[in-house]
Amino acid sequence: MKNIFVDVIAHTNDPEEVCEAAGRNTYKPELPSQLFVNAKQDQNKTVLKNIVRMGHHSVIEHANFTIVFEGVSVFFEQFLIEFRLASYTAKSRRYVNYGESGYIMPAFTNNDSLKIKYIETMNYLFETYKYLVEQGVPVEDARFVLPYSFCSKIICTMNSRELIHFLWDAIYGRGKRYPEIKYIGEKLLKKLQGYAPNIFSNLENLERGVNEKESELNVLCNQYNIKNNFAEREEKVQLLYFTENPDERIASIALMNHTQLDKYTVESCIDDCKKEIIDIILRNKRQRELEHINFTFRINNITLSILTHISRHRMHCLLVPSFLEFGKSKNFVKPKTIYDNPGLVKIYEDAFEKSEHLYNLLRKEGINEEAVYSYLSGNLLDIITTMNGRELYHFLRLRCCLRAQWEVREIADLILRKIKEIAPLTFSKAGPSCFLYGFCPEGKNTCGKFEEVIDNYKNLNRELGIQ
């Protein structure tokens, strides 16, 4: 862990005074500007201390911190970005060559024989990555052989409330089982206590509840003889659940809100005008009505690399299975750029075999948590996510674009077809930015196939009978 660097590079000026003033503003008669002046003169921060102790943490959302993480593993990155109320910027793995990025040396490498095997495997995987790139394989496909130990660089901005959630989970919750995550949490906590001791003190008592869901579910599954299933599924995207009659729901809600009519009156006349109402909603920027319909998908056989792409979308409910049990499947992605070249296939598959051998060795030696560093970015797992209509428009606008990574674009196109079939009016305009807006926002990075792309999505609408 000696190469891990964590630091706060920017923060709200006078973070505790801002939060103290916000707390006083809820019940004191003075103007907020005066309350802030008073808070700067008061050394006790009594209101802030009481608010944090009682758990009324919305007040501490006014203090923001921008943090850099350097030399951390991509496994830590995935843990971090699951905290949704934050802003993240990580170095691109689609365009940047990671051949010299380095990798985490976990705690178990104080065992000489394991250390030699671990280093040998990591070096082999990085050499394979570099060889694939040299042979013309795009970086975004070569990265599938990178282990989950490889180092990432992240800039993150969180408010204090979300930081408390993250820190508690890293130090006392599910992250405590992973030495890297716990180490980073403790290191960051110490730095934050220097800026805002009244917010970040007594962390272990600020969160409530337990975080043993995985182990408790394992006990229950054993009790009822429910077995895990690691099978590679044929259907990439499954629509599990969705809001009933989504077109009618959106049009009715919009009309009820605009007219203040009752539900039954609106339902009696909505069929005649629902298309026009939805068209009005889609033409406007503030599309809050779309947030009232939800779609739950199971996305099967997704690579760990693309999991990161999907996790970055903040406004959806993402469930990722336990990495300990499902992150190291025997299944892996088979990109066309490699499998169209017979000379590269064995090299590529050997990387996964080598990784599997290290994983099995670690588990045999009783090393479970830190075996995650043997996972490869091309390993597959299944996830579940629920998005509302507005977030779906945003997700599809970015991920149906020809410049999106091919795997996530395939997922987006499958999602798009399914929701157009169910809500043809609501999602009539859904698709990449060029189809939605009528122009490409990518500037000089445009794919150069503007008319072709628009025609493809117009044809999809025609195929589904959407006017």
pLDDT digits (tens, 9 = 90+) for 433-467: 999 999 999 888 899 999 999 999 999 999 999 98
Is the pLDDT at 298 greater than 80? The verdict is: yes
**CA neighbor of 381 nearest in space, from 302, 306, 298:** 302
The total domain count for the chain is: 2
Q: What is the DSSP letter of 226?
A: P
What's the whole-number mean pLDDT along residues 347-363? 96
Least confident of 41-55, 157-171, 297-311: 41-55
Is the pLDDT at 322 greater than 80? The verdict is: yes
Is 250 within the bounds of a domain?
Answer: no
Is 291 within the bounds of a domain?
Answer: no
Is 432 within the bounds of a domain?
Answer: yes
* Phi, psi angle pair for 247, to nearest 5°: -60, -50
In this prediction, residue 122 has a pLDDT band, given cuts at 50, 70 and 90, of very high
- pLDDT confidence of residue 213: 85
Which tens digits make up the pLDDT trace of 138-155? Answer: 999 999 999 999 999 999
- pLDDT confidence of residue 185: 98
Is the pLDDT at 184 greater than 90? The verdict is: yes
Is 388 within the bounds of a domain?
Answer: no
Which tens digits make up the pLDDT trace of 233-259? Answer: 789 999 999 999 999 999 999 999 999
> Domain range for residue 71?
5-107+146-212
Helices and strands (DSSP H and E) totals, the chain: 20, 8
Is 122 within the bounds of a domain?
Answer: no
Is the pLDDT at 231 greater than 80? The verdict is: no
Mean pLDDT of the chain: 94
Are 311 and 82 in contact, with CB atoms under 8 Å apart? Answer: yes
Which tens digits make up the pLDDT trace of 204-220? Answer: 888 877 778 888 888 99
**CA neighbor of 385 nearest in space, from 304, 330, 305, 307:** 307
Instruction: Quote the CA–CA distance of 410 and 432 in Å, as a whole number.
Output: 13
- From 191, 212, 233, give the residue that closes a domain: 212
- pLDDT confidence of residue 333: 96
Using CA of residue 180, residue 184, residue 190, residue 193, what is the dihedral sign? Answer: negative
Is 190 within the bounds of a domain?
Answer: yes
In this prediction, residue 81 has a pLDDT band, given cuts at 50, 70 and 90, of very high
Please state, as a whole number, how many other Cβ atoms lie within 10 Å of the Cβ of residue 118. 25
Is the pLDDT at 43 greater than 90? The verdict is: no
Provide long-range contacts, Cβ within 8 A and 24+ apart, for 401-404.
401/432, 401/433, 401/434, 401/442, 401/447, 402/432, 402/447, 402/449, 402/453, 403/442, 403/445, 403/446, 403/447
- From 163, 187, 212, give the residue that closes a domain: 212
Residue 383's DSSP bridge partners are 299
Is 316 within the bounds of a domain?
Answer: no
One DSSP character per residue, 346-370 reads HHHHHHHHHHHHHHHHHHHTT--GG
81 by DSSP, 3-state: which? helix
Which CATH number is 89's domain given? 3.30.1360.170
Is 58 within the bounds of a domain?
Answer: yes
- From 192, 212, 232, give the residue that closes a domain: 212
- pLDDT confidence of residue 7: 98
- pLDDT confidence of residue 54: 87
Report the alpha-carbon angle 152-320-223, nearest 5.
Answer: 135
Is the pLDDT at 326 greater than 90? The verdict is: no
Provide long-range contacts, Cβ within 8 A and 24+ apart, for 404-413.
405/94, 405/140, 405/306, 405/309, 406/140, 406/335, 407/302, 407/303, 407/305, 407/306, 407/333, 408/306, 408/309, 408/310, 410/236, 411/236, 411/237, 411/299, 411/302, 411/306, 411/310
- pLDDT confidence of residue 259: 95
**CA neighbor of 71 nearest in space, from 41, 42, 102:** 102
Report the alpha-carbon angle 303-308-310, nearest 5.
Answer: 90
Are 152 and 305 in contact, with CB atoms under 8 Å apart? Answer: no
